[in-house]
Amino acid sequence: MEYFADIAIHQSWIEDSLTYTLIPNVDTPKVGIRVHVELNGKLTEGVIIRLHSQEPNYRCLPIQNYIDSEPIVSEEQLSLAFWMREQYLSSLGDCLFKMIPKGKRKKESPKKPKEVRSEFLQQLNAEQKQAFLGIRDSKAEQRIHLLFGITGSGKTEVYLHLMNEVLQSEDASIIFLVPEISLTYPMIQRIEKVFPNQVAVLHSYLRTKERFQNYWDILQGKKRIVIGTRSAIFAPVRNLSLVLIDEEHDTSFKENSSPRYHARQIADKRLKETNGKLVLGSATPSLEMYHFALQGKIGFHRISKRAVPEAKEANIAVNQKLEDKQLISGDLQFKIHTHLQKNEQVLILLNRRGYHPLVYDEETKEFIHCPKCSANLCFHSNQILRCHLCGFQESFNYFQKQSKKDLSLMGAGSQKLEENLLELFPSAKVERLDQDSTKQKEVIAEVFQKLEEGQIDILTGTQMIAKGLDFPNVTLVGILNANHGLGVPDFRSSERTYSLLSQVAGRAGRGVKPGEVFIQSSDPEHPVIKLALNQNYHEFYLWEIAFRKSLHYPPFSRLVRLVFRSKKEDECMKTSLEYRTRLESQNLEGAQILGPSPCPFVKIDDNYRYHILLKTNAMEKLREQLRDFKKNSKPNIHCYVEYDFDPVDLV
């Protein structure tokens, strides 16, 4: 008879499970359901991972109540959680609760017939067909494939043909990951048209009960295609046969809280168990994946021409911006006017939120910082100063009263750009897309619909407008402050800047009308700007890979980052120094230790931050050593330490 349950608790500091007694006189629960248990006098959630009759050597508390009647995690998910715990040195509970959306099952949705409407698939051109066949016919051991296609080359059509092939098998399932769900509504509609009644969408914009219902339908096998952002990789599909990661270079596929997984790694692990295929699609692939593809370590499939035969790559020009007061140069103003005269549409990118990114205090001779962070406060058009790191906000008047001299507003953000465009082109219909204008998901869909219907003449915004837009009447793309991002103290800053410039440039001229791209830069001779002008990713790769090799950065090594967080800076520095000393005594074979040093953003949300960086060519050996190192480290209540394997940024 089973009297005890091992439960994975949703707490970072409990690495394994805790044992509780079952509720008496109630039907025995099933492994995989959520429960409420008492921990340190408080009610917390957990998941039953094992039922047994072995009494532990401590007094067990009873389970308070069963949240679910049926399991809401599959056996595969439980197994994956155990693997993640070892891989990312995190708690079992944290791993499991990354997979489960909040909420409860409300109703049993009817099972609808699964169809494949192959007649809605478009015919592939020669390059697309070659890529499709190369992936489809590859051997089982070649699990990972890079689909490297220029913007507008029709990668989505290759995805659809691969999905069609996989779904010929009755029990096969697919996960399709995108960096930003709200920017991919046209793609979702296309997939639903070809595969009706089979698509479930998982993302944070959904209402809690809607998201959980979709999750439950997937668990019950009622949906075979899952589309979503990063965490959708955990969807409890059966017989996962294909994972597609669109815009695979995007850093949003890396989780920024424990466990700090990358969706690509989770996909690879799951597909290893099912002999499925992982397809990574991008016009500007991550340097590591492109490097591995060139070396033959993963499949490599290239599409070099645009899907619309008449469409040509846009003509790109760069202009040096000298006058700060003039946000849009005279040359770019003339080009905008010319394209609007032809009833064509324009995209203008400025990758800075707010109205004025900087507020200068003449009295202190300093920019006004967030009181909780080491970041500058940004002035917004509603007279509020806001921190884009922690969310702190306060009125401009409050800070003005603190200073004996007037505060100066400097620089330009997307709000000021929108206002500037309305002044320069008063008869044009202008819309802005950034995090401040899109608090609700419906706004993005509405803007896209208006753009498609010709109700918008100029669309402006931050990097959001660089992804997924495919509108043939957009013929001019202007990029302002193109050097923004190159000064970030991170070895990937050049890669990210090149990718952003190339992606947004690819929005122009996607139909029969010729496209133009106009870049404003304070340093047009910077190598990244010049390489972006050529739109030749391989040239950029050759330039960047030499830098990576000289400093032994990925792909020539792998990284582990230890980040220390504390309310007290001296405690943070002291703990990081102690860890450095202890790490050196561990004789970490083949690992180079850098730091400790303050993080570029040394303070975020009242927490000081220091970090240590480890470089290695023997990751599994280092992981094993760090696992033992962590177990032997005494918890410090004043300083939290997080382990980040293969970090995508170092700020």
| Gap between the Cα atoms of 531 and 527, Å rounded | 6
Q: Helices in 439-526 by DSSP H: which ranges? A: 441-452, 493-505
Instruction: Tell which residue, 139, 453, 191, 422, has the closest CA to residue 299.
Output: 139
Q: Do 281 and 247 meet the contact criterion of CB atoms below 8 Å apart?
A: yes
Phi, psi of 488 (to 5 degrees): -70, 130
Binding residues, by number, are 370, 373, 387, 390
Q: Do 265 and 253 meet the contact criterion of CB atoms below 8 Å apart?
A: no
The pairing of strands 345-349 and 458-461 is parallel
For 550, the enclosing helix (H) or strand (E) is: helix 537-550
Chain center to CA of 330:
36
93 residue type, one letter: G
Q: What size, in residues, is the chain?
A: 651
Alpha-carbon distances of 635 from 310, 354, 568, 615, rounded to whole Å: 63, 40, 16, 25
Side-by-side strand order, sheet with 34-39: 17-21, 4-9, 42-52, 34-39, 65-66
Phi, psi of 356 (to 5 degrees): -125, 115
Both tokens of 505, joined, read 């440039």
Q: Which residues of 82-114 are buried (b: 16+ CB within 10 A; e: fewer)?
A: eebbebbbbbbbbbbbbbbbebebeeeeeeeee
Q: Where are the beta strands (DSSP E) in 293-357?
A: 299-303, 315-320, 345-349
Which residues, 6+ apart, have CB-to-CB distance to 42 below 8 Å? none
Residue 606, classed as helix, strand or coil, is coil
Q: Do 557 and 576 meet the contact criterion of CB atoms below 8 Å apart?
A: no
Distinct helix (H) and strand (E) counts, the chain:
17, 28
Q: What is the DSSP letter of 376?
A: B
How far apart, in Å, do the first and last CA atoms of the chain sit? 53
Hey, what's the torsion of the CAs at 445, 451, 455, 461, to 10 degrees? 90
Both tokens of 420, joined, read 């500037």
Q: Helices in 403-440 by DSSP H: which ranges? A: 414-424
Binding residues for Zn(2+), by number, are 370, 373, 387, 390
Q: In this structure, is the dihedral angle defined by the CA atoms of residues 246, 252, 256 and 257, taken in order, positive or negative? A: negative
Residue 402, classed as helix, strand or coil, is helix
| Gap between the Cα atoms of 212 and 103, Å rounded | 6
Instruction: Tell which residue, 465, 451, 473, has the closest CA to residue 417.
Output: 465
Token pair 């991550």 is found at: 286
